[in-house]
């Protein structure tokens, strides 16, 4: 499979790619720089929105703007005017934590979690933001809340706490928006990297970025490893399907985790990469707020 460099953006900590079908753009963030990128695959143009604080995840909304997870909560970002308006604060009383990855469930609620910037174990949580602005705690004792997505039938939730070295699976109650019966789905072998962002494709395949492992794994719904895509950088962070028919796979990456002695051999670390794996993704659910 041919993996190409789509954008040599040199993101410090690229994350959170998601396809905005309305605008036909790939959105992603550079977390600690507070940048939201809006990449046009046709023109290769990249518009950067400066949020003014760390920003870790994005969700297009039914209203046409974007919901973003920032350091201490949820905000709306207007992509035309660039203004940012608060929705709900999260852990604003904890100066050493920040929000991390997030995604919308099938009903348009946004799930996103937190992590310790001081690398403290079990200091984070997973939250659910409802369309009306209410925030509910789903899990506590999380080390690095990362990828989350749902099975095509909406019955299962896949979730990554990077500190566990696993992808977990939970039963999902769509009406209540709750997760139960959390159990291991797949454990990443030692030396393969750490599970980071993830997404589920149209066939139910689970794609996991391996931080420090230089690869993306695709797992079948029964937990078997289907195949691996090797990358020219060691620190991929998350994948997203995009393009008119959702058959293009984009991968964000980071250079911040690359050891200094290895950076010369990874001149495109922090870049946005592209391939066509032969399976299609699913349209991202819009936040219903």
Instruction: Using alpha carbons, select from 55, 74, 71 the residue that is nearest to residue 133.
Output: 74
Q: Is residue 56 within a helix (H) or strand (E), and if so which, with residue range?
A: strand 55-60
Alpha carbons within 13 A on the beta-carbon side of 89: 5
CA geometry: angle at 287 spanning 281 and 289, to 5°? 170
Handedness of CA 5, 149, 112, 284 (dihedral sign): positive
Q: What is the distance between the alpha carbons of residues 75 and 56, in angstroms, rounded to a whole number? A: 11
Q: Are strands 110-116 and 124-129 parallel, antiparallel or unpaired?
A: antiparallel
- Determine if residue 204 is left, alpha or beta; phi over 0 gives left, psi from -120 to 50 gives alpha, anything else beta: left
Q: Is 196 a catalytic residue?
A: yes
Tokens linked to 89: 């604060």
Of the residues 196, 201, 217, 248, which is catalytic?
Answer: 196
The SS3 of residue 143 is coil
Residues linked to residue 17 through DSSP beta bridges, in sequence order: none
Instruction: Give 209: exposed, middle or buried? Use CB within 10 Å, 0-12, 13-18, 19+.
Output: buried
Question: What is the number of other CB atoms lying within 10 angstroms of the CB of residue 276?
Answer: 14
Q: Are strands 178-187 and 145-150 parallel, antiparallel or unpaired?
A: unpaired
Q: Enumerate the active-site residues.
A: 196
């Amino acid at each position: 499979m041919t993996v190409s460099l789509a954008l040599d953006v040199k993101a410090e900590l690229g994350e959170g790619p998601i396809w905005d079908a309305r605008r036909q753009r790939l959105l992603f963030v550079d977390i600690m720089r507070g940048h939201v990128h809006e990449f046009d695959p046709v023109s290769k143009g990249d518009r950067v929105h400066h949020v003014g604080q760390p920003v870790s995840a994005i969700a297009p909304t039914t209203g046409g703007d974007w919901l973003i997870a920032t350091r201490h909560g949820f905000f709306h970002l207007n992509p035309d005017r660039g203004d940012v308006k608060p929705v709900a604060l999260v852990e604003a009383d904890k100066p050493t934590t920040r929000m991390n990855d997030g995604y919308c469930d099938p009903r348009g609620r946004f799930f996103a979690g937190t992590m310790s910037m001081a690398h403290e174990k079990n200091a984070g949580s997973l939250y659910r933001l409802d369309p009306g602005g209410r925030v509910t705690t789903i899990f506590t004792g999380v080390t690095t809340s990362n990828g989350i997505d749902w099975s095509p039938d909406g019955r299962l939730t896949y979730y990554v706490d990077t500190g566990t070295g696993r992808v977990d699976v939970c039963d999902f109650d769509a009406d209540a928006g709750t997760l139960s019966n959390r159990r291991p789905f797949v454990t990443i072998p030692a030396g393969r990297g750490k599970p980071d962002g993830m997404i589920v494709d149209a066939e139910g395949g689970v794609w996991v970025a391996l931080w420090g492992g230089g690869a993306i794994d695709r797992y079948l719904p029964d937990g078997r490893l289907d195949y691996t895509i090797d990358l020219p950088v060691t620190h991929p962070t998350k994948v997203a399907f995009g393009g008119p028919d959702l058959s293009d796979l984009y991968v964000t990456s980071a250079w911040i985790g690359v050891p200094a002695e290895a950076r010369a051999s990874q001149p495109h670390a922090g870049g946005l990469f592209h391939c066509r794996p032969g399976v299609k993704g699913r349209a991202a659910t819009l936040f219903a707020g």
